[in-house]
């Protein structure tokens, strides 16, 4: 069981995010280089670095046809120019022989000697410290602010799992559908660490009930870790769960008669928002992406236990099944 340290007396001058995360997260956050400016300063993009270049892999939008052909692995740009002038390249069914034509890889159909050519969308991994009053969806019909309004994206990005509108903290956004699927699959029961602030002090017996599992309308919750982290006030709890049902944390506390005043996800699959202010984002580093791939790939780390009612968990992670 992860151990939580007791929260020290509140220091009003302390930075909000990093201190909180440090105290409740059982997984050491990745070390960040100190010599780089952070995107937490107003969400500005980072200066180019090897790590970033590798990890960002952003999709360019409109580009010259010869660059498109080069990126698709057909030929070097110079050779691509030769192909174009020789009349074997077509865009949207029309042969292009002049140089300098631009194409949109997401929209235009390019062929070489009649064979379709495409470039794979590049993979993007963004870690957002989600603020309040922002919904976790790709688009909102009612025009409310979504998490995608807060991050740069030239390609379709999906939030991995869902946080309620007023839940803050760790949210991963990516267009890597495979990794997103693995991270949210019910059989991969990686820890989600939450800081829960209640409207009143919690009873010891209720803490024990949370740890054992409580009955919700969609079944009993699996055993979890729960610690008070603001003694003697006893209103703030660090909770580690391995499930991702819809509004699970709020419903767990509501089932015991508590109102959740604030909810922050401080860690998800080992990712934390250390160093990121609310609303700020950063690209994952290559080694962080590799780690996520490794942990979602390892059969020894996959916990395929059934829940306490003996039912398969498939379909339970309703909040986590986006995309």
By CB under 6 A, name the binding residues for ligand URA: 163-164, 167, 247-250, 263
**40 or 248: CB nearest ligand URA:** 248
User: Cβ 248 to ligand URA, closest distance in Å?
Assistant: 5
CA distance 148 to 130: 10
Residue pair 151/134 in contact by the 8 Å Cβ criterion: no
Task: Note the helical H segments in 101-234.
Answer: 177-184, 204-212
38 versus 137: smaller Cβ distance to ligand URA: 137
Instruction: Report, in Å, the least distance between residue 244 CB and ligand URA.
Output: 7
Distance (Å, whole) CA 67 – CA 182: 33
Termini Cα distance of the chain? 31
d(CA 282, CA 171): 11
Rounded Cα–Cα distance for residues 174 and 183 (Å):
11
Residue 252 Cβ, how far from ligand URA at the closest point, in Å?
8
Rounded CA-CA distance 285/291 in Å is 10
Measured CA to CA, the distance from residue 277 to residue 272 in angstroms comes to 12
Name which of 257 and 299 has its Cβ closer to ligand URA: 257
Nearer to ligand URA, 89 or 263 (CB): 263
Residues with active-site annotation: 164
Report the DSSP pairing between strands 102-103 and 281-283.
unpaired
Cα–Cα distance for residue pair 151/126, rounded to 1 Å: 8
Please give the biggest Cα pair distance in the chain.
79
What is the residue-wise DSSP string for 221-284?
A: PPP-EEEE-STTT--EEEEEES---TTHHHHHHHTTT--EEEEEEEEETTB--TT--TT-EEEP
Q: Whose CB is nearest to ligand URA?
A: 167
Measured from the CB atom, the residue of 169 and 275 that comes closer to ligand URA is 169
- Checking DSSP bridges between strand 125-130 and strand 219-220, what pairing results, if any? unpaired
Write down the least CB distance from residue 166 to ligand URA, Å.
8
Measured from the CB atom, the residue of 159 and 275 that comes closer to ligand URA is 159
Measured from the CB of residue 152, what is the shortest distance to ligand URA in angstroms? 24
Q: How far is the CB of 311 from ligand URA (least distance, A)?
A: 20
């Amino acid at each position: 069981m992860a151990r939580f340290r007791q929260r020290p007396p509140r220091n009003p001058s302390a930075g909000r995010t990093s201190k909180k995360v440090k105290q409740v997260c059982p997984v050491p956050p990745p070390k960040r280089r100190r010599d780089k400016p952070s995107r937490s300063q107003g969400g500005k993009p980072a200066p180019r670095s090897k790590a970033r270049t590798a990890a960002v892999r952003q999709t360019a939008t409109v580009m010259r046809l010869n660059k498109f052909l080069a990126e698709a692995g057909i030929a070097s740009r110079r050779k691509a120019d030769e192909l174009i002038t020789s009349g074997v390249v077509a865009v949207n069914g029309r042969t292009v022989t002049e140089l300098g034509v631009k194409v949109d890889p997401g929209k235009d159909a390019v062929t070489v000697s009649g064979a379709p050519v495409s470039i794979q969308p590049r993979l993007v991994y963004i870690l957002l410290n989600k603020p309040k009053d922002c919904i976790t969806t790709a688009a909102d019909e009612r025009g409310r602010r979504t998490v995608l309004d807060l991050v740069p994206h030239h390609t379709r990005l999906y939030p991995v799992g869902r946080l309620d509108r007023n839940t803050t903290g760790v949210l991963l956004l990516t267009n890597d559908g495979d990794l997103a699927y693995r991270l949210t699959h019910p059989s991969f029961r990686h820890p989600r660490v939450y800081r829960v602030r209640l409207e009143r002090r919690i009873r010891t017996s209720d803490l024990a009930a949370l740890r054992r599992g409580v009955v919700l309308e969609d079944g009993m919750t699996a055993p979890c870790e729960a610690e008070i982290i603001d003694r003697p006030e006893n209103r703030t709890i660090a909770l580690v769960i391995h499930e991702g049902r819809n509004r699970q944390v709020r419903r767990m506390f509501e089932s015991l008669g508590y109102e959740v005043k604030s909810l922050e996800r401080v860690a998800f699959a080992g990712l934390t928002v250390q160093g990121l202010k609310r609303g700020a984002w950063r690209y994952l580093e290559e080694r962080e992406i590799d780690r996520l791939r490794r942990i979602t790939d390892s059969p020894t780390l996959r916990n395929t236990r059934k829940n306490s009612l003996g039912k398969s968990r498939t379909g339970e992670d309703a909040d986590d099944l986006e995309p």
